[in-house]
């Protein structure tokens, strides 16, 4: 069996596992490997939150939103502000109050993302359906405006993000230490994936969304309002991006207005290598990017910053449409 056979079809979903295994051999030290793997999974899951929405929006609506990262940035800053306001709850020893602070921060970010997404779809995107060139231009314009708005509202200085008390510490098992926040990120990402996956594959709305991705006109001909689905998907996608941004703010603990621009590249690379329009593809791409990024940073620190690019080139040479494309280009 050749490598290509091994990785064809459904086996492709084990690619991250294979990467982790190869890395274990190359690193040699299991405790370092565990730390890196958990960090990679956490990063991957957060990027998945941000990228899945973009991929779905593209798959269903054929809209490429270059200002998707603006939702990420706004999510991060709103979460930081809410956590700053609730510092009393945040620093108390009660896990319950901690949780309350955390979830109100994440919730605020997500709600803002959804409302902004709705507004954005109505005002910015709708007039330019079916016109890729103008979509790119207009969303780039929106990206500029939203970056400037962040500077107006929060100023140009980096902001400290206070993590809730109970997520500060680490598990220690033997000589392995695992930050609780990372485990939480993996947990949240997995939950989001399961919810999305079940919604798409087990519910009526999911069926319609998948049908809309496959053949929009047919769904419309059958009497369903695809436009409403569009708005729904856009709102959910934007909300997820803001949630991912909020999680990322807690992960980095220090955020600058450039956070959107930084994340944009990772998000795009994930969507490209995952294949446009597919949730599983986004998850695979995000995990691969997170894992490879962390392993590379440890094994070849000089190359770390070019990881995104290397991963993208290798995968595109092998699969020009990405790992699991839903949209036939």
Q: What residue ranges bind other proteins (CB under 8 A)?
A: 58, 64, 124, 127-128, 132-134, 136-138, 140-142, 144-145, 147-149, 151-152, 261, 264-265, 268-269, 271-272, 276, 302, 305-306, 308-309, 312-313, 316-317, 320-321, 329
Is the Cβ of residue 250 or residue 290 nearer to other proteins in the bound state? 290
Is the Cβ of residue 57 or residue 188 nearer to other proteins in the bound state? 57
Shortest CB 196 distance to other proteins, Å: 22
Is the Cβ of residue 224 or residue 321 nearer to other proteins in the bound state? 321
| Separation of alpha carbons 265 and 52, rounded Å | 14
Burial bucket for residue 104 (CB in 10 Å: 0-12, 13-18, 19+): middle
Is the Cβ of residue 38 or residue 54 nearer to other proteins in the bound state? 54
Q: Among 121, 64, 67, which residue's Cα sits nearest to residue 277?
A: 64
List, in sequence order, the alpha helices (H) in the chain: 3-6, 15-27, 30-61, 68-85, 87-91, 95-120, 132-154, 180-202, 204-214, 216-221, 226-252, 259-274, 279-299, 307-318
Shortest CB 180 distance to other proteins, Å: 31
| Separation of alpha carbons 104 and 248, rounded Å | 16
Is the Cβ of residue 208 or residue 264 nearer to other proteins in the bound state? 264
Contact 246, 52 (CB under 8 A): no
Query: For 183-223, what is the HEC assignment?
Result: HHHHHHHHHHHHHHHHHHHHCHHHHHHHHHHHCHHHHHHCC
Is the Cβ of residue 30 or residue 156 nearer to other proteins in the bound state? 156
Shortest CB 207 distance to other proteins, Å: 26
- Residue 70's Cβ-side half-sphere holds a number of Cα atoms within 13 Å equal to 20
Shortest CB 97 distance to other proteins, Å: 33
Is the Cβ of residue 33 or residue 248 nearer to other proteins in the bound state? 248
Shortest CB 275 distance to other proteins, Å: 11
Shortest CB 319 distance to other proteins, Å: 11
Contact 308, 266 (CB under 8 A): yes
Instruction: Show Cβ contacts of residue 254 under 8 Å, excluding neighbours closer than 6 positions.
Output: 158, 159, 160, 161
Shortest CB 269 distance to other proteins, Å: 5
Is the Cβ of residue 173 or residue 306 nearer to other proteins in the bound state? 306
Shortest CB 289 distance to other proteins, Å: 11
């Amino acid at each position: 069996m050749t490598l290509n056979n091994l990785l064809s079809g459904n086996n492709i979903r084990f690619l991250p596992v294979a990467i982790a295994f190869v890395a274990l051999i190359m690193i040699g030290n299991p405790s370092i490997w565990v730390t890196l793997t958990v960090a990679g999974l956490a990063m991957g899951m957060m990027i998945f939150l941000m990228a899945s929405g973009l991929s779905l929006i593209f798959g269903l609506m054929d809209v490429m939103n270059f200002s998707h990262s603006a939702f990420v940035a706004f999510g991060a800053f709103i979460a930081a502000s809410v956590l700053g306001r609730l510092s009393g709850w945040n620093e108390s020893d009660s896990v319950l109050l901690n949780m309350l602070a955390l979830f109100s921060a994440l919730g605020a970010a997500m709600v803002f993302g959804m409302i902004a997404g709705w507004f954005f779809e109505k005002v910015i995107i709708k007039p330019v359906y079916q016109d890729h060139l103008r979509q790119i231009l207009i969303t780039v314009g929106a990206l500029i405006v939203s970056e400037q708005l962040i500077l107006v509202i929060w100023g140009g200085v980096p902001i400290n993000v206070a993590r809730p008390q109970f997520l500060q510490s680490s598990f220690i098992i033997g000589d392995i230490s695992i930050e609780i926040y990372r485990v939480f990120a993996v947990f949240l990402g997995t939950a989001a994936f399961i919810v999305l996956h079940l919604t798409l594959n087990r519910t009526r709305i999911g069926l319609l969304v998948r049908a809309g991705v496959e053949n929009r006109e047919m769904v419309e001909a059958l009497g369903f309002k695809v436009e409403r689905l569009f708005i729904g998907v856009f709102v959910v996608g934007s909300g997820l991006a803001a949630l991912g941004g909020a999680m990322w703010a807690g992960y980095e603990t220090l955020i600058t207005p450039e956070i959107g621009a930084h994340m944009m590249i990772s998000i795009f690379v994930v969507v490209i290598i995952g294949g446009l329009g597919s949730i599983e593809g986004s998850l695979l791409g995000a995990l691969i990017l997170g894992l490879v990024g962390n392993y590379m940073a440890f094994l070849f620190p000089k190359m770390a910053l070019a990881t995104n690019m290397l991963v993208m080139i290798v995968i595109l040479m092998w699969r020009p449409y990405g790992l699991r494309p839903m949209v036939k280009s």
